[in-house]
Structure 1
């Protein structure tokens, strides 16, 4: 694990405005926002509301018309924009990698620009690849066209973090990949943030993604006017108005499954064997074990197949034809919603949990997940009752104040 020397820096946006020539109204109008050091803040809102423009003004890819930007203790509004961008990581949709450069050259780009030594850059490239779960020996010399979409996005994040910036800006970085890969990339970002504690500002149009990733969410109206800026829990349980409720949508209680991680629930052990174990040993485990099933792992300790009693007999002793391939796994940083979706698509009602390189760590089953769903629903019911009582008390107090005012007025007239 690479040693990190820089953690996140606070960001302050003060009256930030962007007007384009010929437009009657600003694209972004008077945005003021305080972002704490080391937190993930999500900007979410309808298409065209100005969320990407707001993000790009932080590193001045788009120059603000007026207002101030502070990062840490430094006012960066008038700083040389090229120098500013070298201090702020930036990751975009479809990774934005330079196709004529290798993976290593892409990651080394900013450290080279800021004058790092060749040896330091070489070590940093290897650290960054390892950090995002890619084997440096395998990926160092590849070109972007030789990578999957998910691998390209991992390299894009590695490049954004290579010079150890305190701030990382992410503009819909996972929007162009398939849903399964997107879930895994989101989990990877959560894991990275646990280790790095950067300040991350992340733009998305997907409210479920915002709930899953954000420490706080800014729901933006037109021209980036802030409708609500709060924690995911607060927005789910107490949206400020109908506009915010529209983003939350139906099923707020189930959306709260995006707030609990697999690491927060019980992960059970499960009988395992590896493809290198003798067939007789695997057969004995299936025959003599308390469970009629085991999980077969590959040579890298990754989930490979679910094997049941009788599979080896039916397949005439061949592992190649025996069992059912593992299609879905979740990481410890996956949400309970991810785990529930995986479990619901599995006939036996369980999903294997994996580590950062895909290695097996345990299993989560339907019973565990359903217990947590019931706990969340119960908590929501209690919150709703408490909120209703608070509103009733506020109305009662208002009625008493009005009555006291009426009585005072009568007394004065008498």
Structure 2
């Protein structure tokens, strides 16, 4: 996750679960057993574990959709265990798989739901709806009056996140929110959540069964066994490089070095400039730019400054007064918050070995190429190798100390005379 800027205010609240337990009637074994966990204000914590381990139950006990059998829940300085659950839920954002939007309500009505319940004025609600749509990258004028059935799956999830954030809650709970969309949309939604968190600094507890998603999104990851027993609760880097046991190693799986590509953002590597022109520029100026530049290619931007086409010199000779049929459409782009893994996948599908990098509104920022990405991959592999060597040295030193102590114990028991073979 991107680091919080020093001057940015954290608007999230600390969550502390104390001995949280859920025992269903008629079942002798708890679904969640005695969970202790502290989530810091302003961080994203991911709960990941096998199906049926109790991660969603744990999440739903935080906003009391499921009532705990025992234990305490503290949000900030307040014990909310005995608070009116309806009142509590109005102070906590909640986003689920398949968005959970009400089909008979428009986008605006869905987003306005909680602000309306807690008594905001009509003008404040109207402004907040527009602000939220803008925040999640949807044009208020275009989407305000639409119904959920008129949206794509990705758009529905964006509205679901906007609704969860509408009343400006300090805590956002997310239960596999991107699990029902296709992989490409899922990547975009993950990037969007990273960008939003970089701006808002909420406290987010996020459930997933996908360890790659956990690595990409989490400041810390809680790997859960059955009954939500915590196998390891640490940063993605620590879990990838030093899994606590074989159970955690099973979640990490093969290719830990490549999984670390999900820990580095495009914003952290060398994004370079590239010759660009706009689609409404005169053809003569585009010709001149191509002739005078060192590149035999340029990136054509649309009227909103977004990547549109890659143009080569040969394309211009065939333009015949129009760029309509010239060049190759831009198939892939990545945001500044995309991971190196996302960028590498995009670059590998491009014959020229580069991908355009875009900002929040899809506007062109620069280009990242194969050479830059491979240099970063090499650095990660070298760092992994050095860490593995250091870990091996530490194990050897530990064994040597244990052998020495054992030998001292034998010598002491023998009255200092040693043991003869």
TM-score range, shorter chain: over 0.9
Which of 261, 272, 275 pairs up with 1:271? 275
- For the residue of structure 2 that corresponds to 1:17, the secondary structure is strand
1:206 positional shift: 0.6
The answer to whether structure 1 residue 252 and structure 2 residue 250 are counterparts is: no
Range moving further from structure 2, 124-133 or 329-338: 124-133
Which of 57, 60, 63 pairs up with 2:61? 57
1:283 positional shift: 2.2
Map 1:89-128; keep pairs closer than 5 Å: 89-128=93-132
1:6 positional shift: 7.2
Q: Which residue of 2 aligns with 1:217?
A: 221
Q: 1:412 to 1:376 in 2, by over 3 A?
A: closer
Q: Which residue of 2 aligns with 1:372?
A: 376
Q: Which residue of 1 aligns with 2:363?
A: 359
Range moving further from structure 2, 404-413 or 108-117: 404-413
Q: 1:412 to 1:382 in 2, by over 3 A?
A: closer
- For the residue of structure 2 that corresponds to 1:41, the secondary structure is strand
Q: Could you tell me how far apart the structure 1 residues matched to 2:124 and 2:398 are? A: 62
Q: Could you tell me how far apart the structure 2 residues matched to 1:259 and 1:108 are? A: 35
Q: Could you tell me how far apart the structure 1 residues matched to 2:11 and 2:269 are? A: 29
- For the residue of structure 2 that corresponds to 1:300, the secondary structure is coil
TM-score, normalised with respect to structure 1: 0.97
Q: Which residue of 2 aligns with 1:181?
A: 185
Map 1:173-322; keep pairs closer than 5 Å: 173-322=177-326
The answer to whether structure 1 residue 15 and structure 2 residue 22 are counterparts is: no
Range moving further from structure 2, 288-297 or 363-372: 288-297
1:284 positional shift: 2.2
Q: Deviations over 1:35-92 (max 9, x none)?
A: 1111100001111111111111110111111111111111111111000001100001
Q: Could you tell me how far apart the structure 1 residues matched to 2:111 and 2:297 are? A: 44
- For the residue of structure 2 that corresponds to 1:106, the secondary structure is helix
Q: Could you tell me how far apart the structure 1 residues matched to 2:407 and 2:38 are? A: 42
Q: 1:185 to 1:112 in 2, by over 3 A?
A: same
Contact 2:10/2:42 (8 A) holds in 1: no
- For the residue of structure 2 that corresponds to 1:151, the secondary structure is helix
- For the residue of structure 2 that corresponds to 1:310, the secondary structure is helix
Q: Which residue of 2 aligns with 1:85?
A: 89
Contact 1:293/1:306 (8 A) holds in 2: yes
Contact 2:9/2:201 (8 A) holds in 1: no
Contact 1:6/1:165 (8 A) holds in 2: no
Q: Could you tell me how far apart the structure 2 residues matched to 1:171 and 1:391 are? A: 39
1:318 positional shift: 2.9
Q: Which residue of 2 aligns with 1:160?
A: 164
TM-score, normalised with respect to structure 2: 0.95
Contact 2:103/2:147 (8 A) holds in 1: yes
Q: Deviations over 1:264-317 (max 9, x none)?
A: 001100011111111222222223321000111111111011111111323434
The answer to whether structure 1 residue 406 and structure 2 residue 410 are counterparts is: yes
Could you tell me which runs of 5 or more consecutive residues in structure 1 were left unpaired when the two chains were aligned: none
Q: Could you tell me how far apart the structure 2 residues matched to 1:132 and 1:369 are? A: 28
The answer to whether structure 1 residue 323 and structure 2 residue 327 are counterparts is: yes
Q: Could you tell me how far apart the structure 2 residues matched to 1:294 and 1:148 are? A: 32
Could you tell me which runs of 5 or more consecutive residues in structure 2 were left unpaired when the two chains were aligned: 1-7
Q: Deviations over 1:243-263 (max 9, x none)?
A: 111110111011000000000
Contact 1:6/1:164 (8 A) holds in 2: no
Q: Could you tell me how far apart the structure 2 residues matched to 1:368 and 1:34 are? A: 38
Q: Could you tell me how far apart the structure 2 residues matched to 1:124 and 1:368 are? A: 41
Map 1:378-389; keep pairs closer than 5 Å: 378-389=382-393
Q: Could you tell me how far apart the structure 1 residues matched to 2:285 and 2:401 are? A: 74
- For the residue of structure 1 that corresponds to 2:334, the secondary structure is strand
Q: Could you tell me how far apart the structure 2 residues matched to 1:303 and 1:181 are? A: 19
CA RMSD of aligned residues (A): 1.5
- For the residue of structure 2 that corresponds to 1:168, the secondary structure is strand
- For the residue of structure 1 that corresponds to 2:414, the secondary structure is helix
Range moving further from structure 2, 273-282 or 293-302: 273-282
